[in-house]
Amino acid sequence: MPNILSMLFGSIVVFILGGLWYGPLFSRPWMTGMGWDVSNKLQMDAMKKAAGPAYAQQFMGTLLMATALSTVIWSFSIAAPFLQDWQRALLTGTTLWCGVILPVKYGEHLWGKRPLSVFCIDAGYYFLAVNILSFILTLWK
């Protein structure tokens, strides 16, 4: 059965990962790829002003992802009881990333005419996020 505390903790960890990923690690190439001028103070100030509500909405989306992922992991535990927990976590996270997230992010790259750098940054983040969340939800006892 899904564990509320593991979903909340996992969401917090993934939210922090997003702050690091799109902050100190990849903020400049991501913003440049999205067409933002990082040297334009007015544009950066407007982006920072809108960030609060966006962070709250993103956290809610992460909680929703944790809830759905927890349900899939629970289903895998019934369908494949022979798997060890770490195998189930890796299989679940990687399968969902390959089969759901990667095609969606690639479609955004193709149809949104986003640069390959933005696709790689976004896809890399979601690969880590889904797998970290999958491990937390699976191994939390």
Closest CA to 15 of 81, 49, 64: 64
Nearest to 138 by CA among 78, 96, 94, 92: 92
Tell me whether residue 133 is exposed, middle or buried, using C-beta atoms within 10 angstroms of its C-beta: 0 to 12, 13 to 18, 19 or more. buried
Distance of CA 11 to the CA centre of its chain: 9
- Evaluate whether 131 touches 13 at the Cβ level (below 8 Å): no
CA 49 – CA 35 distance, rounded (Å): 18
CA angle 46–52–53, rounded 5-degree value: 100
- The pLDDT profile of the chain, 141 residues, written as one tens digit per residue, is 678 999 999 999 999 999 999 999 999 999 999 988 888 888 888 888 888 899 999 999 999 999 999 999 988 888 888 989 999 999 999 999 999 999 999 999 999 999 999 999 999 999 999 999 999 999 997
**How does pLDDT run across 97-120, given as a tens digit for each residue?**
999 999 999 999 999 999 999 999
Per the document, the length of the chain is 141
